[in-house]
Amino acid sequence: MTKQEFINAHTAELSLQGGATLARRYTAGSHLGTFELGFKLRNSKKTNFSNNPYYNAPSSTLALSQVLGTFTNPNYYDKSYPLGPLSDYDKILKAVYSNFSAFTPDSNTTHLNNDASNYDGTERVTAGYLMNSVNFGKSRLLTGVRFEATNETYSANQVKLNNGDWAQTIPVSGNGSYLNVLPSVQWQYMLTSNTNIRASYDMAISRPNFSDLVPSQQVDPNASPQTIVRGNPALKATSAHNFDVLAEHFFQPLGILQAGFFYKRLSNPIYPTTSTLPANDPNFPSFQVQESINGPNAHITGFEAAWEQRLSFLPGLLNGFGVAANYSYTTSQVIFPLGFAAANPLLIGRKDTPALQRQAPNTWNLGFTYDKARFSMRFGVSHNDANIYAYNYQVTDPTQVNDPILGVKGPTGDIYLYAHTQFDIQGNFRMYKGLELVVSGLNLSNEVFGFYQGSTIYPVQREFYKPSVIFGMRWSSASER
Confidence of residue 3 (pLDDT cuts 50, 70, 90): low
Identify which has the larger pLDDT, 6 or 170.
Answer: 170
Q: CB of 298 within 8 A of CB of 335? A: yes
- What's the confidence (pLDDT) of residue 5? 63
Top mean-pLDDT range of 41-55, 196-210, 273-287, 336-350 = 196-210
Average pLDDT, the chain: 86
pLDDT digits (tens, 9 = 90+) for 414-431: 899 999 999 999 999 988
Confidence of residue 407 (pLDDT cuts 50, 70, 90): confident
Confidence of residue 343 (pLDDT cuts 50, 70, 90): very low
HEC readout, the chain: CCEEECCCEEEEEEEEEEEEEEEEEEEECCEEEEEEEEEEEEEEEEEEEECCCEEECCCCCCCHHHCECCCCECCCCCCCCCECCCECHHHHHHHHHHCHHHCEECHHHHHHHHHHHCEEEEEEEEEEEEEEEEEECCEEEEEEEEEEEEEEEEEEEEEEEECCEEEEEEEEEEEEEEEEEEEEEEEEEEEECCEEEEEEEEEEEECCCHHHHCCCEEEECCCCCCEEEECCCCCCCEEEEEEEEEEEEECCCCEEEEEEEEEEEEECCEEEEEEECCCCCCCCCCCEEEEEEECCEEEEEEEEEEEEEECCCCCHHHHHEEEEEEEEEEEEEEECCCCHHHHCHHHCCCCCCCCCCCCCCEEEEEEEEEEECCEEEEEEEEEECCEEEEECCCCCCHHHCCCCCCCCCCCCCCEEECCEEEEEEEEEEEEECCEEEEEEEECCCCCCEEEEECCCCCEEEEECCCCEEEEEEEECCCCCC
- What's the confidence (pLDDT) of residue 403? 65
Confidence of residue 34 (pLDDT cuts 50, 70, 90): very high
Mean pLDDT for 41-57 is 86
- What's the confidence (pLDDT) of residue 465? 82
- What's the confidence (pLDDT) of residue 273? 77
* For residue 92, pLDDT beyond 90: no
Confidence of residue 479 (pLDDT cuts 50, 70, 90): low
- What's the confidence (pLDDT) of residue 167? 83
* For residue 341, pLDDT beyond 80: no
The percentage of residues in the chain with a pLDDT greater than 90, rounded to a whole number, is 41
* For residue 199, pLDDT beyond 70: yes
pLDDT digits (tens, 9 = 90+) for 150-186: 999 988 888 877 776 788 888 888 888 899 999 999 9
Identify which has the larger pLDDT, 479 or 68.
Answer: 68
Mean pLDDT for 136-154 is 93
- What's the confidence (pLDDT) of residue 402? 63
Top mean-pLDDT range of 149-163, 218-232, 359-373 = 359-373
pLDDT digits (tens, 9 = 90+) for 266-310: 999 888 777 777 888 877 788 888 888 888 889 999 999 999 999
- What's the confidence (pLDDT) of residue 417? 94
Mean pLDDT for 245-249 is 97
* For residue 346, pLDDT beyond 70: no
Mean pLDDT for 355-383 is 93
* For residue 32, pLDDT beyond 50: yes
- Is the pTM higher than 0.85? The answer reads no
Confidence of residue 344 (pLDDT cuts 50, 70, 90): very low
- What's the confidence (pLDDT) of residue 155? 87
- What's the confidence (pLDDT) of residue 439? 93
- What's the confidence (pLDDT) of residue 115? 84
Residue boundaries of the structural domains of the chain: 10-55+105-241+280-288, 58-102, 295-481
The percentage of residues in the chain with a pLDDT greater than 70, rounded to a whole number, is 91
* For residue 337, pLDDT beyond 70: no
pLDDT digits (tens, 9 = 90+) for 94-138: 887 887 777 888 888 888 878 878 888 899 999 999 999 999 989
